[in-house]
Structure formats: structure tokens, C-alpha cells
Amino acid sequence: MTPTVVEISGDAVVAGGGLGGVAAALALLRAGRSVVLSEEYDWLGGQLTSQAVPPDEHSWVERFGVTASYRALRDGIRRYYRDHYPLTERARAHRELNPGAGHVSRLCHEPRVAVAVIEAMLAPYRGSGRLRVLQPYRPVAVETDGDRVTAVRFAHRDGGEDVTVLAPYVLDATETGELLPLAGAEYVTGFESQAETGEPSAPAEAQPLNMQAVSVCFAIDHVDGDHTVERPASYDFWRAYQPPFWGDRLLSWRCPSPRTLEIVERSFTPNPGDDPGLVEADQRVNPGDANLWTFRRIAARDNFLPGTYASDITLVNWPMIDYLEGPVIDVPDAAEHLRAARELSLSVLYWLQTEAPRPDGGTGWPGLRLRGDVTGGSDGLAQAPYIRESRRVRALYTVTEQDLSLEVRGDKGAVAYPDSVGVGMYRIDLHPSTGGDNYVDVGCSPFRIPLGALIPRRMTNLLPASKNIGTTHITNGAYRLHPVEWNVGEAAGALAAFCLDHSTTPHAVRESERLLADYQRRLVRDGVELGWPDVTGY
């Protein structure tokens, strides 16, 4: 039976409601435009919510280096805790409140709080009718006329009616760059060759199916009782699984250090009784992953009044859940790999509950309890897989390793693009890959985001708005984090609005000094930082 198709229109359609998609929609809406925003999962927010990944941010995030709207999101999360949670007086008074006192970020928090804040940011526009959110919908077809996208068709996840959206601008903020192949846009996946990019860390030949591991995260606490899950069907496979570079079985406390590749042993102590007020979440000082319990902890019970939480809650996004058996982009068995990645995560949980070595010489913590209520996944895990690497558009400009590498650039700093539309900072942090590569870690200077990386070489009204911009496999490792994805989306949304206001095109904006300056002034007016102050210590 052919599904019913509803046709709607707007000034722009934003496919994908992750951080880039939300930021793109907000930029368009602030400019007075109407937006159709889609999202295939139950929560908007992507990395921060449905994927359950606490924000990975640079060391200066509390002072500079993010957009004003991203700062508003962070401030809103803290305000939500102060307004609705029974914090201790000490925690409430701390200006840089870190609810989870996790070491990975200065703002570790429960995913639902970010959902609430994002929904509040969008609420006035929903009420006015200028924002329509299609949820849960994913794009399935694109109509084009030459180099323009004329319509995008979305299918309902659970079998509802299809919706076709007509809009003069189309932004791809999906987690995997879904619109690029649908629209016939040129794109790349996996490793580019060194001959193409000149990157010191690139291989001699291109490896399009060699991509970073995906991970299915989950939340746990530790309470009285036996909360052991059913033994996963593939547990024996994962229990024996040993990548050649790992130094031990995947299900162990031993694994490579991301920065040195030395085999290190991590610890795991639930509810260690540490003082959350003393946690300094600065990875320049301490990577913070020695005790995996506190590494990505999202609720520190001692930040709340006694009795509020029976236990800390920690988010499992650890090395042993990285799925290496195959990519999930442009392969016929992508769904099977995603299913197997979820089985791996459940196997890690079962191992933690039954066989993981304890510091006291015993094995397993049966009191570990899966907190699917925290992540919203029907099987107790995160709703969506954490996909670190997307399809990447063939753009007017491609950011390469030598643009930002400390080893290459030295004290010159990263390339100062004249068409900057924002800033970011993170080491090039590539997780082990489906091609058998170990971690790749490259020190970086604080960098800018070039407008040229947001403009496809050929398509005139299709803009990447997430991790699908013109980076390489290697530089994606620095550009893929939460605040950069938000900045990319915001810049793309502002660009679409600017082009609509001036009856021009993205290509023309980049080519014209006058239009580029006007567009950059609009970004600055809206709180987008185009360059870095002089900073040291990175």
C-alpha cells in the first residue's frame, strides 16, 4: 500500500535535529524565517541527548570560544538544575556547576535536562507557527533540478504518513550526511589518501570504508540487589574478542592510551565517595579516565541533598564499547552492524555485572543497574548510536591536518581563514577504526571554521550543517565535537537566512568581499566568535 504523502513548505528545511540541526533552525528563526526541522529519534539534541554523550569541550569554554547561543544552552542546563533539582547549597552556589562532576567535561549532566532546555529554546517558534518539527521522521528521498534541491521527502519511523517539504534552502544536519547521496551531491567517506590531502597522518591510498568506531552508550548506577541483565546471545564472541593492537581482550581494563598508544590499565570503583566540588574537569591537566566511574559521571549524588540519589549515575562511553567490526555508512549490512554494536554494549554491561575484575580480587558488580529511564532507549541503552564520522561533502575548501596541527604549524597557530564563521578547539582525536587502525592523536592549535568548508562545490542550495562539512577523515577528529557542531549548524542557518534576505547564493557570499563582510557582521552580531584571543597552554 502506497503511504499517504503530505506536502508542506517553509523558507528552509533542516534534516536532522541534533546539535547542528537545532542551532541551524534557531539561526534561521532568529532571522525571521520559517523552518521545518526533522528528527528520527524521540529527543532533539543528537550527541547531547539521544546519543547520551556528555559534552566534549575545550578548556576555555567557560570564558570564550563558543557561540552565544551555545553558551545559552549551557547556561540553561545549569539553570534547570538550580530551578528543579534539590542541590546542596554548596553545589547551588558554584558558578560553574557540574552536576555529574565528571572529569570529561565541566558540564556533565543527564540527557533529559538538555532535551528540556532545547525544547524551551525552540518553544516560542513552535507557538508562533514558524517552526514545524517532524518527529520521528528521517529523509528518504530528494528531488533536484540541476544543482538545486527542490524537495525532501521524509518517512515516519513508525509507519505514519510521509511528508514532502518544499523549501528554497535545504540543510543536512543528519548524523551521517543522509541528504548527500540522496541529492547526488559529491562526498567522501573514510580516509583520504596522502596524495590527495598531503596530511602527515594519512595513508598512501584512500580507504573509504575505514571509519571511526561507532558506540552505543548507556547509563548505570550501583545499588543493592542483583540487577544482572540477560546474557547476550553474542557474549561469548565479545568475551573472546581481541583487536591486534589492544594488548588484551576488548572486555578488560587494559587498552591503549589514546595519546601514547601505551597499554594502560584503568580502574573502576562505583560510588568512590570523592568530593564533587574538587573535580577539575580540564583534560590539559588530567585526562580523567583513570577511574572510569567518574570519567563520564552524569549525576554525582553528593551534589544533591541526601536521599535524592541512591547512587551516582555514570555514562558508559568507554574504549570497550567501540564497535570495530564494520562501518555503518555506505555498506549493505549497516543495520546488522548497528544491531551488533548494541549487542556489544549489552555484553560489556553483562561483563561488568558478572566477570569484570574488582579491586578486592572478586569479580563482577551485580548491583550495577542499567538506567534506560535516563537515556530513553527501549532496550535500556541510548536511543541512538554515537556516530563519530559522517559522510563529508566535497566542499569549496577542505580543512586538512596541516591547517591546525601543532607539529606542522608550531607557534604560528592554526590557519587564520579570512572567511571564518566560527571557532573550535580539540585535539585531533580519532578512535580505533573499522580498518584496524589504533587511535590517532594529534595536538592542535585553536582553530577557525572556514565558510568554504560549508559550501558544496556544485550544489547551490544544499548546505551541510553538522559533522558533514569539508573536513578530512583526520580533521573530523577535531571538528566533530559538541560546540563545533553547534557552531557549524548556526553558521549554516545564518548563511541560508542571509542568502534569502539578499537574493544571493552561498557561493556568491564567499566570492564577494562585501557580501562576506556583511554576513560575518551578522554572525558577530548574533554572538558568533570568528577568531581566538591569544591563548597558551594547549
Same domain (yes/no): 344, 474? no
Separation CA 386–CA 379 (nearest Å): 16
Q: What residue type is assigned to position 258 of the chain? A: P
Which of 375, 390, 422 is the last residue in one of the domains?
Answer: 375
Q: Residue 230 — very low, low, confident or very high, per pLDDT cuts 50/70/90?
A: very high
Residue 39 has pLDDT above 60, yes or no: yes
Q: What is the pLDDT of residue 535?
A: 67
Residue 92, classed as helix, strand or coil, is: helix
Same domain (yes/no): 263, 356? yes
Q: What residue type is assigned to position 83 of the chain? A: D
Q: What is the pLDDT of residue 252?
A: 96
pLDDT in tens, 250-278: 999 999 999 899 999 999 999 999 999 99
Same domain (yes/no): 126, 263? no
Helix (H) or strand (E) holding 69: helix 68-84
Residue of 377, 387, 249, 373 whose CA lies nearest to 317: 387
Which whole number is the average pLDDT over 401-414? 96
Residue 190 has pLDDT above 70, yes or no: yes
Which of 341, 360, 375 is the last residue in one of the domains?
Answer: 375
pLDDT in tens, 231-257: 999 999 999 999 999 989 999 999 999
pLDDT in tens, 71-95: 999 999 999 999 999 999 999 999 9
Q: Report the CATH number that the domain containing residue 518 is assigned in CATH.
A: 3.50.50.60
Same domain (yes/no): 32, 130? yes
Residue of 387, 530, 323, 381 whose CA lies nearest to 16: 387
Which whole number is the average pLDDT over 297-309? 98
Residue 199, in any domain of the structure: no
Residue 301 has pLDDT above 90, yes or no: yes
Same domain (yes/no): 365, 503? no
Same domain (yes/no): 404, 455? yes
Kindly report whether the peptide bond that precedes residue 357 is cis, defined as omega within 30 degrees of 0.
no
Same domain (yes/no): 181, 257? no
Q: What is the pLDDT of residue 538?
A: 54
Which of 344, 375, 406 is the last residue in one of the domains?
Answer: 375
Residue 64, in any domain of the structure: no
Residue 195 has pLDDT above 90, yes or no: yes
Conformational region of residue 433, where left means phi above 0, alpha means psi within -120 to 50, and beta covers everything else: beta
Helix (H) or strand (E) holding 68: helix 68-84
Domain count, the chain: 2
pLDDT in tens, 481-511: 999 999 999 999 999 999 999 999 999 999 9
Q: What is the pLDDT of residue 537?
A: 57
The residues with which 255 forms a beta bridge, in sequence order, are: 264
Residue 283 has pLDDT above 80, yes or no: no
Residue 206, in any domain of the structure: no
Same domain (yes/no): 356, 404? no
Residue 536 has pLDDT above 90, yes or no: no
Residue 142 has pLDDT above 90, yes or no: yes
Residue 474, in any domain of the structure: yes
Which whole number is the average pLDDT over 433-448? 95
Residue 305, in any domain of the structure: no
Residue 67, in any domain of the structure: no
Percent of the chain clearing pLDDT 90 (strictly above): 95
Q: List Cβ neighbours of 187 (8 Å cut-off, separation of 6 or more).
A: 177, 180, 181, 391, 392, 393, 394, 468
Which whole number is the average pLDDT over 304-328? 97
- pTM recorded for the entire structure: 0.97
pLDDT in tens, 196-229: 999 999 999 999 999 999 999 999 999 999 999 9
Same domain (yes/no): 39, 165? yes
The parent domain of residue 11 ranges over: 5-54+109-191+398-525
Same domain (yes/no): 50, 171? yes
Residue 513, in any domain of the structure: yes
Percent of the chain clearing pLDDT 70 (strictly above): 99
Same domain (yes/no): 519, 406? yes
Same domain (yes/no): 476, 351? no
Residue 393, in any domain of the structure: no
Q: Residue 355 — very low, low, confident or very high, per pLDDT cuts 50/70/90?
A: very high
Strands 368-370 and 169-172, how do they pair?
A: unpaired
